[in-house]
Structure 1
Amino acid sequence: MKATALLAVVLLAALSACTDTGDEPEPTATPSGLVWSDEFDGSGPVDEKSWNVATGNKEFDGWGNEELQYYTKDNLARDGAGHLAITAEHADPDAELPCWNGKNCAYTSGRITSEDKVSMQNGRAEVRMKVPAGVGLWPAFWMLGSGAEQWPNGGEIDVMEWVGNETRTVYGTVHGPGYFDDAGIQGEINLPADLSDDFHVFAVQKSPQRIQWQVDGKTFFEMTPDKLPEGKKWVFERPFYLLFNLAVGGPWPGNPTAATKFPATLLIDYARVYK
């Protein structure tokens, strides 16, 4: 979704390259240079200086994933306790909420993006959040390449994705030209307890020619140009902006079942960018 053009906060300080290139990357130290953050203090709507609120479904073809939620501005707000709450819930059956499948969307939820407002080229993007439990729920923290290039040519970095039928698994993925959708390059980590039990810190560290994914300070996945399929282009040497959403349904997470509890809320404690 295109928002009113505002001055982007582009972060150009590079990280030192990690010297370990083995199959199990070592944890990387958190940098100290905080350059932007949203602590989600207070209550009410998100800060318009940092965030755009996405709405709709049908006009975005189910957001490319046959998702069943209609995004609205009413499904996200600062909760007064230091969190951004993104809530998925049953939609009003009488509401006009057109979905990709020709029906009205059965659910509403929320999605925000920092496009044209906050972006990072090299550094660390970090979020602390708690995901909701339930089959068919699909919370994500991800990044898209800034600029006019059509997806996936500008690149996509999925910092954290979780699907409610795989309660202990976190996924990190890159998409680019010739390696997108099911061909995206993905890593994963299995945690000792259900992810929905507590808050966790998810981060990506991005330096020239290298991207690393972390959960609670542990590096679990790393991408460099030599890991791309032969002949494919590395498109990640550019600024990337931030996105958060709580999707419902689609082929990957599956559709909600009778056991899926609504409302379901993704709680974001903070979002931070370091140099």
Structure 2
Amino acid sequence: MNTTISNSTLTASIKHSGAELFSLKDIHNKEYIWEGNPDFWGKHSPILFPIVGTLKNNTYIIKEKEYQLPRHGFARDMEFELVEKTENSAIFSLQSSAKTLEKYPFEFELQLIYTLQEDTLQIEYNVINKANEKMPFSIGAHPAIALPENFENYAFEFEKQEILKYHLLENDLISDKTKILETTNNIIPLNYELFKNDALIFKNLESNSLTILENSKPYIKVDFEDFPSLGIWTKEQAHFVCIEPWFGYSDTESNSGDLFEKEGIIILEPQKTFHSKFSIKIV
């Protein structure tokens, strides 16, 4: 099943499977979300929960017991319930179950809230700890922005002038190796060579937003002020780029395996709610 919301400027469509945004169109019917061609990458904008990235050996430990989780967790592959809808907004919910407790031994509710406001789609996350014990988790977004022209016609413009140091991945884990993205007036022209070693992983950024330029003109702005980390990724010759606001990232080789000790993890107190949001603005 799918749900569509709209206003006078935009229309957004969301799958109930994974509560995944798969279309964002303007009044001219121009599509801004990647089509999901499986020859390159068969998704559009998955939710990453309860981990972001890859665990060492796809395994973690809670109270001396081992559990397995696939890359980016399980929420993106589960059916969400539509719990509320208006013309321009929709709320989806995923509740812990016997199936999730086998992989992740915590009682939770995960809500995704989509709201259209003029030329902007706001996406909010609520993570509710329904138990009487602390709950460790990571959460992240993975929207793939469609780039219909030649990849080299696009560029990134970061909000602030800063040293853009990113970590390299090795075997899907965060390595100690880093590189610096060189910018000119905060602008980085896009080319596939940037992604020859997979995603660019920024553990901490001063910038709270990133604008994609098309032929030197603003195309889309992603605002992620609530999120400390950012991933950027594409596939060779694919016509998309993923701008991924994150809380957390892949394990390092030195990770102990204890989820409570994982770098970047959030520890949510019993019966509390974690909230964050980001937005995609058509500019």
Task: Give the TM-score of the pair, scaled to structure 2.
Answer: 0.33
Task: Give the TM-score of the pair, scaled to structure 1.
Answer: 0.34
Does 1 or 2 have the higher relative contact order (CA < 8 Å, sep 6+)? 1
